[in-house]
Structure 1
């Protein structure tokens, strides 16, 4: 029980640390409303589960041992984050003199499926294309795996718990951002948010690109 409590405490501390996921969820919520933010949060949690399964099956070990594979994933993730950041900086909404129009979601009409899928995909890819996340799970989860039980089941259980805690926090964050969405969509504020979000995503992309393989 003490080991599980430590796992929960460390997980919560890590989840509350702002990162690229937080920036992406913020952007999705402002642009696409609650459904967009929820879709991005769900994608982020899905990415965590993918990394968990990879760690449990030993694929993360392969990533850690192969310099070529590590560099390939690293640069793919870096380019993707920088692409999202540049897209945010060049967003028409960031340079328009008009206030951002309320999304169809605000009119109690479901957001288009393509927007939801796009938000979900961005959440997944932001996590999956970050080799540091894979290596983190490779080093973090084993600390709490008991040798007297099936490791795959333990990996999966802890990964699901971590993903659950993550999505709960991100959903709270989504509803918090959405509560101020009208103010955040004012032209000057919206423009600033787009620029800050873009800069943050580019910064994380550069950080991933410059990180050395452990």
Structure 2
């Protein structure tokens, strides 16, 4: 198969994906939160969960399930409320951050640790339940990607986006957990955690409002 025939399409997808993944949203907020309140390992596993969830969006887009979800108001609303509830839960936990809890995190590394599986699932759920990601991939596979593009090529596109997403958030995780930088952030880290919590709550409220329209 001659992949060179799809360079232009791939470049368009890569740019659209970069703009989407770099924009502040639930994925960004949870990676920042994990980097400041947990450790680099937790942040990286969370990033891996986010990257894997991209494959979920790709799969249901390839099989047309995304269109079914979008065209079924009841199902779409249910998934929207479920996503909003999870983001709201994470947001409330962030708003409850206190100065002493961040101090304990800095002193006692045991408090900052989170199991790899729980970190991974956190990232996977945040991205997997993101209805905006559903709409993004639906538009990507129905508008930008030609209907004549072979399924194998579409799968390659999906794999690229999953790896690129993980790479982006892994880079962010490493940067935020770089010891000198992290120590400075943690001096007022509970304010940053509260800000991320507020951001998640606003995103949850926005999802609910859109689902009710």
Q: Shorter-chain TM-score category? A: 0.7 to 0.9
Q: Is contact 2:57-2:133 (8 Å) kept?
A: yes
For the structure 1 residues 14 and 98, does the alpha-carbon distance in structure 2 shift closer, same or farther, using more than 3 Å as the test? Answer: closer
In the superposition, the TM-score normalised over structure 2's length comes to: 0.86
How far residue 74 of structure 1 moved from its aligned partner, in angstroms, is 0.2
SS of 1:211 mapped into structure 2: helix
Which of these residues, 89, 98, 106, is aligned with residue 101 of structure 1? Answer: 106
* Deviation at residue 185 of structure 1 after TM alignment: 2.1
5+ long unaligned stretches in structure 2 = 1-6
**Mean Cα deviation higher: 11-20 or 204-213:** 204-213
The CA RMSD measured in Å over matched residues stands at 2.2
Q: Report matched runs for 1:75-114 at 5 Å.
A: 75-91=81-97, 94-96=98-100, 99=103, 100-102=105-107, 104=109
Unaligned runs of 5+ in 1: 106-110
User: The residue matched to 1:68 in structure 2 has which SS?
Assistant: helix
Q: 1:159 matched to which residue of 2?
A: 158
Q: Does residue 16 of the first structure (1) align with residue 22 of the second (2)?
A: yes
Equivalent residue of 1:96, what SS?
Answer: helix
TM-score (norm 1): 0.86
Q: What are the equivalent positions in structure 2 for 1:1-214 lying under 5 Å apart?
A: 1-91=7-97, 94-96=98-100, 99=103, 100-102=105-107, 104=109, 115-151=115-151, 153-179=152-178, 180-186=181-187, 189-212=188-211
**Equivalent-residue separation in structure 1 for 2:71 and 2:53 (angstroms):** 21
Structure with the bigger percentage of helix: 2
Paired residues of 1:53 and 1:155 also in contact (CA < 8 A): no
CA–CA distance in 1 between the matches of 2:102 and 2:162?
38
Q: 1:108: which partner in 2?
A: none
Partners of 2:51 and 2:102 lie apart in 1 by 34
Shift of 1:5: 1.6
Aligned-partner Cα distance in 1 for 2:137–2:102: 44
Aligned residues: 203
Identify if the C-alpha distance between structure 1 residues 213 and 86 changes in structure 2 by more than 3 Å, giving closer, same or farther: closer
